[in-house]
Amino acid sequence: MPENNDEAFEFLLARAGLSLTDEQKAELKTVYAGIAEMAQRVRKPRGRMAEPAHVYDFTEGDLA
């Protein structure tokens, strides 16, 4: 996660294509830490082979 500085913050908003008011930006900054904590929580020592839940198999439709 990038540091919570103004430059990084503006970059993230620009990348997302969001145009926010100063008030919205100020509020959003107050909850950044909550997202950062969540992102930390989902990182566990699992190694490179651990699969995501979203995988798929082929159906009859693929074979038709």
Options 3, 7, 17, 63; binder of another protein; rule CB under 8 A? 17
16 makes contact with another protein (CB under 8 A): yes
- Check binding of 41 to another protein (CB under 8 A): yes
Q: The tokens of 10 are what?
A: 């503006």
Judged on CB neighbours under 10 Å (0-12, 13-18, 19+), 31 is exposed
- Cα torsion 18, 2, 9, 30: sign: positive
Residues within the interface to another protein (CB under 8 A): 1, 12-13, 15-20, 24, 27-28, 31-32, 34-39, 41-44, 46, 50-54
